[in-house]
Chains A and B, each alone.
Chain A
Amino acid sequence: SQQGEEDPQALSIQEGENATMNCSYKTSINNLQWYRQNSGRGLVHLILIRSNEREKHSGRLRVTLDTSKKSSSLLITASRAADTASYFCATGEGANNLFFGTGTRLTVIP
């Protein structure tokens, strides 16, 4: 499969703590993206990091990319109950398509 794989599959933390999710993939990529999905909703784009970038920030989100290890991490700092959702990495591996992993289910306990 060309999908990325997220780790862990599920994560439960207290509000205010940091949450770290990892993504590994198998092939060369153009970019790697992270999406969030709230229960019963569509996916929402969070951040895109290109293959020539190593780190990117957006608000409380920090994404790293290590192309030599074919891995990425998403850090959410100072988590909030509203961050409770599933998080997916998606690899851009061709002209138009993204390949999604199976997701990490994050629960932030108030």
Chain B
Amino acid sequence: DAGITQSPRHKVTETGTPVTLRCHQTENHRYMYWYRQDPGHGLRLIHYSYGVKDTDKGEVSDGYSVSRSKTEDFLLTLESATSSQTSVYFCAISGASGVADTQYFGPGTRLTVL
């Protein structure tokens, strides 16, 4: 998985609680991404980062925030989890030129919100 880890790998939480997912890379890649994968929707981009403290919104950013204080770590926070945020979350990294290039994916985090 190209030196990308995600934690936790599985989490069950209750509606209204905050949740933070962590993505850690050892590749020193500049770009990092958070996606969610749901049946019938493929992968949808939540937020991405193009450098330390530089982040931007993706297609489905409502209800999510991110932070990147170090090159190697990209955190995704669900401020107040809802059942619609039950999903599999993937982190990805990309090292290259700034033109949408090959992405390398982590193993995923399965989140269930009850």
Contacts and interface: CB of A to CB of B under 8 A. Distances in A.
Interface of A: 3, 30-31, 33, 40-45, 48, 88, 90, 92-103
B100 A43 contact: no
Contact of B107 (A41, A48, A90, A94): A41
Nearest to B45: A97
Interface stretch (B12-20, B36-44, B70-78, B79-87): B36-44
B99 A95 contact: yes
B50 A96 contact: yes
B103 A45 contact: yes
Interface residues of B, number: 28
Contacts of B98: 95-96
B10 to A, nearest CB: 11
B101 A102 contact: no
Nearest to A50: B99
A97 B105 contact: no
Contacts of A96: 31, 48, 50, 94, 98-100
A99 B58 CA distance: 10
17 contacts: A31-B99, A31-B101, A42-B1, A42-B108, A43-B90, A45-B104, A48-B101, A48-B102, A88-B42, A93-B100, A95-B98, A96-B94, A97-B33, A97-B58, A98-B103, A100-B35, A102-B40
B102 A42 contact: no
Closest 7 CB pairs of A and B: A92-B100, A42-B105, A102-B42, A100-B43, A43-B105, A100-B42, A45-B102
A28 to B, nearest CB: 12
B99 A92 contact: yes
